[in-house]
């Protein structure tokens, strides 16, 4: 697995290498912007942070201008060394779907016939506004960028770049992640894609983790709210991805099932290796349609029952075994597809728990789902055919153990239910209790 690129050189040589690398990135970015000068207003400012230059581009004009980039407060961490040769290798791997210059999870070619329903061209749903909004928060993500961003761009090419927007918020990376994201500007602009790139100093690894995570997730959605004229409230779909290893067919199946099931939100299943066998990962967030966790966790916090998913829900357990989508109260699971309508209407966003009002301490994705229910968008489903992990090596192992999406995809209907009366609260493993699903909700 690839890690951080580093070299044993003297401080003076290191400074020169950094200068050359940044100069290449700056020139390439500016060239792309100049080539699109009819669409972009370019202003260069000097950042006092770390004494480094950054370019801030703002869009001149309104929709329907396509193929522009908005870069906000992007800075390069001082310790990073990224040689142009290495940079070009990563760019080739990301931009070329068939590239093998870097090792990454191999993905099958999606079934285009199955997913052509998603393409909005000549469709009655087609509007003059963007309909697919990809959102990501990335930190120290260099090893998985070839697979993750390669998949995102392959999916965007299929859906149509003019139908899509990509918003990435980067923060606190010194492994080359911000350099890669900035160096993609020329290619993505040429592709005709709206590319919103921002960096943030918010560090959720420190205190107040949930409020900070919520703030970062909202930053990635900020272009939706700042530019409502470019986005359709009725047809807009958000594809929100964690730093997962994912294939194009995984994203397309989540989108397809959202349409087929008439769901407000669909999620994958994400996995980790707590031991030798794969273990469902997002157990703190995910809740079944009866309000319980996906597997039982006793007060001592052990995951010995992680193999026994949906132990107290025979119907859900049966659907899971058959790889059929099933309704849940909440999920995220590494990748989520959801309607943007309640976000654009100002009804839903990511937030921290209202503990002063008696609300359970819980993660921002669970609260997002809770607010979806409250706003009348409670059709939330997990698509178990989509299995994800967080590294290329483990991603290969998960696909080998759980299968690729195309091996298990099925089309069934869901008889949608209302919310459970109560939901399990799990602020800590040794402090679990049940509370009304709508505790602290207005009304």
Helix (H, G, I), strand (E, B) or coil at 314: helix
105-119 pLDDT, tens per residue? Answer: 999 999 999 999 998
201-232 pLDDT, tens per residue? Answer: 999 988 899 999 999 999 999 999 998 888 87
- What does the pLDDT read at residue 354? 94
Class level of CATH domain 11-436 = alpha beta
Torsion from C-alpha of 296, 287, 213, 370, nearest 10 degrees = -150
Domain definitions of the chain by residue range: 11-436
> Residue 21 and residue 18: Cα distance in Å, rounded?
5
- What does the pLDDT read at residue 69? 74
pLDDT averaged over every residue in the chain: 83
> How many percent of the chain have pLDDT more than 70?
79
**Residues in the chain where the model's pLDDT stays below 70:** 1-68, 72-84, 120-129, 442-443
């Amino acid at each position: 697995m690839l890690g951080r690129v580093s070299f044993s050189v003297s401080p003076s040589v290191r400074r020169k290498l950094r200068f050359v690398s940044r100069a290449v990135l700056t020139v390439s970015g500016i060239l792309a912007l100049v080539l699109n000068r009819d669409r972009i207003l370019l202003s260069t400012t000097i950042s006092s942070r770390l004494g480094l230059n950054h370019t801030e581009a703002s869009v001149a004009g309104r929709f329907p201008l396509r193929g522009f980039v908005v870069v906000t407060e992007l800075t390069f961490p001082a310790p990073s060394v990224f040689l142009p040769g290495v940079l070009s290798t990563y760019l080739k791997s990301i931009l070329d779907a068939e590239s093998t210059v870097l090792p990454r999870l191999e993905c099958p070619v999606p079934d285009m016939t199955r997913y052509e329903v998603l393409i909005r061209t000549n469709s009655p749903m087609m509007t003059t506004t963007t309909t697919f909004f990809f959102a990501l928060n990335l930190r120290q993500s260099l090893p998985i960028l070839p697979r993750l961003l390669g998949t995102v761009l392959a999916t965007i090419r299929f859906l149509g770049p003019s139908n899509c927007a990509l918003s990435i918020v980067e923060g606190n990376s010194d492994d080359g992640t911000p350099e890669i994201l900035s160096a993609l500007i020329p290619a993505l602009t040429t592709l005709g894609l709206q590319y919103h790139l921002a960096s943030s100093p918010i560090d959720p690894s420190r205190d107040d983790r949930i409020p900070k995570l919520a703030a970062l997730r909202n930053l990635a959605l900020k272009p939706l709210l700042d530019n409502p004229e470019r986005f359709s409230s009725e047809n807009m779909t958000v594809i929100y991805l964690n730093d997962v290893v994912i294939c194009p067919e995984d994203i397309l199946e989540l989108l397809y099932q959202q349409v087929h099931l008439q769901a407000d939100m669909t999620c994958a299943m994400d996995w980790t290796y707590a031991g030798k066998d794969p273990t469902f990962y997002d157990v703190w967030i995910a809740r079944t349609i009866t309000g319980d966790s996906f597997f039982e966790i006793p007060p001592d916090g052990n995951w010995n029952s992680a193999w026994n998913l949906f132990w107290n829900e025979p119907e859900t357990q049966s659907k899971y075994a058959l790889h059929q989508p099933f309704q849940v109260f909440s999920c995220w699971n590494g990748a989520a597809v959801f309607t943007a309508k309640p976000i654009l209407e100002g009804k839903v966003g990511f937030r921290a728990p209202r503990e002063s009002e008696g609300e359970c301490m819980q993660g921002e994705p669970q609260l997002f789902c809770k607010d979806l229910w409250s706003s009348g968008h409670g059709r939330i489903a997990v698509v178990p055919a989509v299995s994800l992990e967080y590294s290329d090596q483990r991603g290969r192992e998960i696909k080998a153990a759980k299968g690729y999406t195309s091996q298990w995809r099925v089309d069934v209907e869901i008889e949608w239910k209302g919310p459970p009366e109560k939901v399990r609260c799990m602020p800590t493993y040794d402090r679990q209790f049940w509370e009304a699903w709508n505790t602290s909700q207005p009304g």
